Chains A and B, each alone.
Chain A
Amino acid sequence: SQKIEQNSEALNIQEGKTATLTCNYTNYSPAYLQWYRQDPGRGPVFLLLIRENEKEKRKERLKVTFDTTLKQSLFHITASQPADSATYLCALDARANRLAFGKGNQVVVIP
């Protein structure tokens, strides 16, 4: 069956350090992968998109990698700040114009 796995345990990290989140998938062949941020009581907000032929994408303090052999994406927040505290969702191209979302991984940045 198809699965998207993100760590269910919150990541607690000291301000200024790099937070790294993992998204693993099974039985998908995504042409692209996206990362979203969701704050409590709000809808997800798009952060980054990476295509299957791209190894790495950066935007300001964010970096995403995509390894189609390992079926994994890593999401990094460098120099983390308390304002980065949120839940981060990975979303895969599930074909037929659908996105399949992971359950999300909460990040707590400690001042």
Chain B
Amino acid sequence: EAGVTQSPTHLIKTRGQQATLRCSPISGHTSVYWYQQALGLGLQFLLWYDEGEERNRGNFPPRFSGRQFPNYSSELNVNALELEDSALYLCASSLAFTQTKNIQYFGAGTRLSVL
């Protein structure tokens, strides 16, 4: 069974540009979560999508947005990139909450560098 896949592995952008990160969840998983892991800060919750809808978002500005497609894959968009957006962006997927108490399966991440 394929795990959570993220692309690209690395992304280099300059300030002010836009970045698009992609995630494919484990087959059968309907929930997708996005996290930012900056150096020394731990995992910060960004967004949660389930059944195509944004269900919750963390304390991040609106230039962080995303969507979930009918096949449950997801995209994270970061507009007007700033230097401090440089981080590892992790995507996770899970089954419906009631089944698994939100056990999350993570991809390997996209390393975003903003120059």
Contact = CB atoms under 8 A, between A and B. Distances in A.
A, B co-complexed: yes
Interface of B: 4, 31, 33, 35, 40-43, 45, 48, 50, 55-56, 90, 92, 97, 101-109
A88 interface: no
28 contacts: A31-B101, A34-B102, A34-B103, A41-B109, A42-B108, A43-B4, A43-B92, A43-B106, A43-B109, A44-B90, A45-B106, A46-B103, A46-B105, A49-B101, A51-B101, A89-B42, A93-B101, A93-B102, A96-B55, A97-B50, A97-B97, A98-B45, A99-B45, A99-B104, A100-B45, A101-B42, A102-B42, A103-B40
Nearest to A103: B42
B105 to A, nearest CB: 7
Interface in A1-43: 31-32, 34, 41-43
Interface residues of A, number: 23
